[in-house]
Structure 1
C-alpha cells in the first residue's frame, strides 16, 4: 500500500510540474479512443508516439463508484518496456507488475496499526 501511495504521489508531482522547459518537445498522441456512458461505464485507450500505452475499462461498482481494470506500459530509456496492470474496486487499488517488488514489506507503524485493530476487534 505504501508503495502504491508513493507511486501515485510521484505521478502527481510529475504531472503538476511546470509545463515549459527549454528542452521540452511535444509528444504526439498516435491513437486516442474514449467512451463514457455517464453511469460508471467507460473505456479509454491511448498511445503516444514514444510508445506509452494506457487503457482502462470502468464498470459500475456496488457502492456507486466505477470499478476499473486497466494497465499501462512505457519504454525504458535503456531499452525494454515496463508494464503495470491493475484493478481498482471495493477492495482497493491492486497493481500487478514485475516492476513492483514482492513481497511488499509493511512499515513498522502499519504493523502496529494492524495489531491495534485486531486487539480492538477481539475486545468487541
Structure 2
C-alpha cells in the first residue's frame, strides 16, 4: 500500500507543470545578454547619492538623491530608452515630499476643459471669495 502511495506522489511530482520556467529569459528566442557600458555610482552614506549607467542597447539612467525634510530621499533623475520605431523615449522625474512627478512627451495629457466648465469654475471661485457656502445637497447655506 505504501508503495502505491509513493508511486502516485512521484507521478504527480513528475507531471506537475514547471511554473516559471516558461518565463525564464533564457527560454525566449529573442533573449540575449545586454552589456552595461557605463556604470557610475556614489553613495556618501548621509543620504546624498548619485548614479548613472548606460547599456549597449541605448538605455540610459541617471539620478541624484539628497536627504529630504521629512526623512525621505529627494531624487531628481531621468531615463531614456529606444522605442521599436527607432526614436528615443525620455522621462525626467522628481520624487520628493510632494510625491513623484514625471515629465515626458510620452505621458498622455487630458484634453482641455470646455469653455462652460472654465466659466463654472470662475463663478465658484467668485462665490467662495464672497463667502457663499453650499451644503452637500447643493443648497446655499445662509449664515447670519
Asked if TM exceeds 0.5, the reply is yes
Match of 1:25 in 2: 32
Unaligned 5+ segments in structure 1 are 1-16, 105-118, 120-124
Unaligned 5+ segments in structure 2 are 1-22, 112-135, 137-144
Match of 2:103 in 1: 96
Match of 1:77 in 2: 84
How many residues of Structure 1 are paired with residues of Structure 2 in the alignment?
A: 89
Q: Does 1:42 align with 2:55?
A: no
- Mark the CA change 1:49 to 1:90 in structure 2 (over 3 Å): closer, same or farther: same
**Larger relative CO (CA 8 A, sep 6+): 1 or 2?**
1
Q: TM-score, normalised by structure 1?
A: 0.67
Q: Which of 1 and 2 has greater Rg?
A: 2
RMSD between aligned residues: 1.7
Q: TM-score, normalised by structure 2?
A: 0.58
